[in-house]
Amino acid sequence: MVQLKTDTSIEEMREAGRVVAQALTAVRERAAVGVSLLDLDKAARRVLKEAGAGSPFLNYRPSFATTPFPAVICASVNDAIVHGIPDEYRLRDGDLVSIDCGATLGGWVGDSAISFTVGTPRPEDARLIATAEEALEAGIAAAVVGNRIGDIAHAVGRVCRGAGYGIPEGFGGHGVGRSMHEDPSVPNEGRPGRGVPLRHGMVLAIEPMLIGSGRDDYYEASDGWTLRTSDGSRAAHAEHTVAITDAGPRILTRL
Ligand code: MG
Ligand code: MG
């Protein structure tokens, strides 16, 4: 069931979203060649702690997971699409890094992700990341009262497919609120005019995931969490938590 938020609740969710934005900013500033993924997780933990926020990622254990998630960020490098577990791996020149982060503040969740390169970027990675951001922007622009979930999905998918990229099926956006994953699900591809009507007070995470080779298939790594592209090509991920309002879409996970 889709839970509509009051205007007051959306203001409170904005504060949770701001903490996520601060954590992602800190991670991005910390990221450099030679820095480990655990260092990036530490940078995010520090921001959450200073803000008095909790992590909806830490110890999260959805039905598909055999172990609880051990960190406050997902760190997915190169062929990892999403759900990478931060470990001792040290970033190398040209790596493509996707960082997903959540925060819980005042009982409300914010959820956002960014992708970036460290060191000297490969041109194809820069294009992949730019397209993920463009797909996110297109999805947000479609997140208006009077549209339906399918319009967001279609807008996201059109940008991804139009650039020749693959889309991992079965993963995508979702409602956000008191918990990280609420109804409805927001696919990254779909038909316009279909699905749940968008109403003032809906809060959605929109999160395109793109596979550079144009193929859609992926597999779950032996850690039980990380999704990797089947052909080893690189992937990018971008996400914002967005409130749908009568005044238009409002991005809650910006600084
Ligand atoms: Mg996320
Ligand atoms: Mg999400």
List, as one string, the DSSP characters of 160-226.
Answer: HHHTT-B--TT--EEE-SSSSSEEEEE-SS--TT-SSBP-TT-EEEE--EEETTS---EEE-TTSS-
- 70-88, pLDDT tens digit by residue? 999 999 999 999 999 999 9
Distance, CA 191 to ligand 1 centroid (Å)?
A: 23
**Is residue 84 within 8 Å of 76, Cβ to Cβ?**
yes
Q: Which residues contact residue 199 at a Cβ distance below 8 angstroms, ignoring those fewer than 6 apart?
A: 4, 145, 244
Confidence band for 17, pLDDT divided at 50, 70 and 90: very high
Q: Which two tokens stand for residue 169?
A: 């099926």
Distance, CA 240 to ligand 2 centroid (Å)?
A: 8
Distance, CA 172 to ligand 2 centroid (Å)?
A: 7
Ligand nearest to the CA of 20: 1
Is the pLDDT reported for residue 139 higher than 90?
yes
Distance, CA 15 to ligand 1 centroid (Å)?
A: 16
pLDDT of residue 64: 82
Confidence band for 62, pLDDT divided at 50, 70 and 90: confident
Distance, CA 189 to ligand 2 centroid (Å)?
A: 16
* CA–CA distances in Å: residue 22 to residues 85, 125, 224: 20, 24, 29
Q: Which domains does the chain have, with CATH numbers?
A: 7-251 (3.90.230.10)
- Tell me the C-alpha distance between 197 and 149, whole Å: 6
Distance, CA 109 to ligand 2 centroid (Å)?
A: 10
**Is residue 72 within 8 Å of 141, Cβ to Cβ?**
no
CA angle 133, 134, 140 (to 5 degrees): 90
Q: Which two tokens stand for residue 42?
A: 């530490």
Q: What is the average pLDDT value for the chain, to the nearest integer? A: 97
Is the pLDDT reported for residue 12 higher than 90?
yes
Residues with a beta carbon under 5 angstroms from ion ligand 1: 100, 111, 113, 239
With H, G, I as helix, E, B as strand and everything else as coil, classify residue 116.
Answer: strand
- Tell me the C-alpha distance between 83 and 103, whole Å: 16
Stated length of the chain: 255
Laid out side by side, the sheet with 218-220 consists of 80-82, 227-229, 218-220
Distance, CA 185 to ligand 2 centroid (Å)?
A: 10
Confidence band for 95, pLDDT divided at 50, 70 and 90: very high
In terms of Cα–Cα distance, which of 95, 101, 53, 59 is closest to 77?
Answer: 95
Confidence band for 106, pLDDT divided at 50, 70 and 90: very high
- Tell me the C-alpha distance between 182 and 62, whole Å: 13
Ligand nearest to the CA of 82: 1
Compute the average pLDDT of residues 166-174.
Answer: 96
Distance, CA 127 to ligand 2 centroid (Å)?
A: 22
Q: Which amino acid is at 92?
A: R
Is the pLDDT reported for residue 121 higher than 90?
yes
Is the pLDDT reported for residue 63 higher than 90?
no
* CA–CA distances in Å: residue 196 to residues 74, 142, 157: 29, 13, 17
